[in-house]
Amino acid sequence: MSDDRRDGLLWRGRFLEVRAAPWGEDGRWEYVTRVGRIAAAVILAITDAGEIVLVEQYRPPLGCACIELPAGLVGDKEAEDPLHSARRELLEETGFVASCWEDCGQFASSPGMIGEIFHFYRATGLMRVSPGGGDGDERISVHVVPIAQVPAFLEAARARGAMIDTRLLIALPLLPG
């Protein structure tokens, strides 16, 4: 038996692994992790004008676009700390840089199925320095939405068939005013 099998690895692709852990009496719990068990950084970006910066991109697992907070992988290309990843992803995806960063903690995405954790940051003191849109083929659309209009914006997105990332549920109570 390979070391991977003893470690619970069932399958490995380029980005994901399927693993199993002993569960119950003679059972197993199957779950997904990222290769190398890397984490993610998620950013709640708020402008001085009281707007939230959201991104929208097509997500193949959902088969539709998804409205999300800016986010990205920590150390997927080279070793980096989560805050550095958050700064990089905010710029790449949205074109904004932030002068103030607040670490809001670590959270689990979907702990019954996914072994991924994410580091959550609030970014303020924003300045737009580029259009954003992501790297390569990401084709990210950036939405800068007045906080008071977020519920209507999300409802309109749902009405046109977009999904809403659950991480927005964490963000909403952290919005000012």
Contact 57, 11 (CB under 8 A): no
- Contact by Cβ (8 Å): 119, 106: yes
Q: Which two tokens stand for residue 11?
A: 């399958």
Kindly report whether the global pTM for this prediction surpasses the value 0.85: yes
CATH number of 38-174: 3.90.79.10
Confidence of residue 176 (pLDDT cuts 50, 70, 90): confident
Q: 141 near 58, Cβ under 8 Å?
A: no
pLDDT tens, residue by residue, 109-120: 888 899 999 999
Which residues make up the CATH 3.90.79.10 domain(s) of the chain?
38-174
